[in-house]
Amino acid sequence: MSKAFKGGLCAYCCSAESSTADHVIARGFFPEDQRGNLPKVGACVDCNNRKSQLEHTLTAVMPFGARHGRATEALLAVERMLVRNQRLHRLLAGGVRYAFRSINGSPWMPEMTVPFDSCSMEQLSEYIVKGLARYHWELDIGEDTFVRASFLRPEGAAAFDRFFAGAVKDRVSCDLGQGVFRYEGILSVESPNLTLWKMSIYGAEVGGDPAAPGQRVSMVYGVTVDKASRAAGLLAQILGGAEAATE
């Protein structure tokens, strides 16, 4: 491993020393010809292991919602993975459902869905947000920073977009692996650790929000913001999470 990732602070907990290089977006999400030059940051072993566990399940589940150009290929890769991994195989086989669906008035098409725990995608996205904030802007996202990533309903997304359109110090927009992972981020001028993110994996759509039956979303919204800053309360309210609940 390159020395550059050793001895700094772990990008995810910002308390332990980093001892390993972590791919911010796991290589397993990408086809083999698209794994070069993915963003990496220094991480401690504990964070690296916890993040890997989330990635392990999600690299198998997310392709089922894939809408990007190489969706079929992503699903075939899952098939190969399931042959080797019995636990995942049982998890998915137990919950596969078939449905018919029409998109924008097109003919009804059969569709397979798998059980999907949106919390695990949101948790992984929180790691990704911290990793990208370190990768692009060398930020240390420690305990005094509120971090949250979530799927938003249209009202929440609209409120978030108003923030996103605000004054920026810097802006990034990337498409990794031809639609595998797309993201946009801004570094705000308003406070030092204020970053906002929109991202999607495979353009995959997820549903299952009991409060919004039939609705599907593909974008995860993320934020890092100093807990003491003015924007923190409002962003926590938009994105949900523990802090918002105690406001």
Q: Which stretch binds Zn ion (CB under 5 A): 21-29, 36-44, 65-73, 132-140?
A: 36-44
DSSP of the chain, one letter per residue? --GGGSSSB-TTTSSSBP-EEEESS-GGGS-GGG-TT--EEEE-HHHHHHHHHHHHHHHHHGGGG--STTHHHHHHHHHHHHHH-HHHHHHHHTT-EEEEE-STTPPPEEEEE----HHHHHHHHHHHHHHHHHHHH-----TTEEEEEEE--HHHHHHHHHHHTS-EEEEEEEEETTTTEEEEEEEESSSTT-EEEEEEETT--B---TTSTT--B--EEEEEEETTSHHHHHHHHHH-SHHHHT-
Binding mask 144-173 for Zn ion (x = CB under 5 A): ------------------------------
Binding mask 46-65 for Zn ion (x = CB under 5 A): -x------------------
Q: Are 239 and 223 in contact (CB under 8 A)?
A: yes
> Is 127 near Zn ion (CB under 5 A)?
no
> Is 11 near Zn ion (CB under 5 A)?
no
In the sheet with 168-176, reading across from the earlier edge strand, the strands are: 145-151, 220-226, 195-201, 181-188, 168-176
> Is 21 near Zn ion (CB under 5 A)?
no
Total residues at interface with Zn ion (CB under 5 A): 6
Instruction: Between 42 and 222, name the residue whose CB sits nearer to Zn ion.
Output: 42
> Is 16 near Zn ion (CB under 5 A)?
yes
Q: Which stretch binds Zn ion (CB under 5 A): 4-12, 72-80, 101-109, 221-229?
A: 4-12
Min dist. Cβ of residue 14 to Zn ion (A): 7
> Is 13 near Zn ion (CB under 5 A)?
yes
> Is 41 near Zn ion (CB under 5 A)?
no
Amino acid occupying residue 208: G
> Is 24 near Zn ion (CB under 5 A)?
no
Min dist. Cβ of residue 108 to Zn ion (A): 47
Instruction: Between 14 and 92, name the residue whose CB sits nearer to Zn ion.
Output: 14
Amino acid occupying residue 35: R
Q: Which of 10, 24, 186, 223 binds Zn ion (CB under 5 A)?
A: 10
Instruction: Between 66 and 141, name the residue whose CB sits nearer to Zn ion.
Output: 141
Instruction: Between 48 and 150, name the residue whose CB sits nearer to Zn ion.
Output: 48
> Is 44 near Zn ion (CB under 5 A)?
yes
Min dist. Cβ of residue 64 to Zn ion (A): 30
Min dist. Cβ of residue 228 to Zn ion (A): 23
**How far, in Å, CA of 128 to CA of 136, rounded?**
12
CA atoms within 13 A on the CB side of 53: 7
Give the interface with Zn ion as residue ranges (CB under 5 A): 10, 12-13, 16, 44, 47
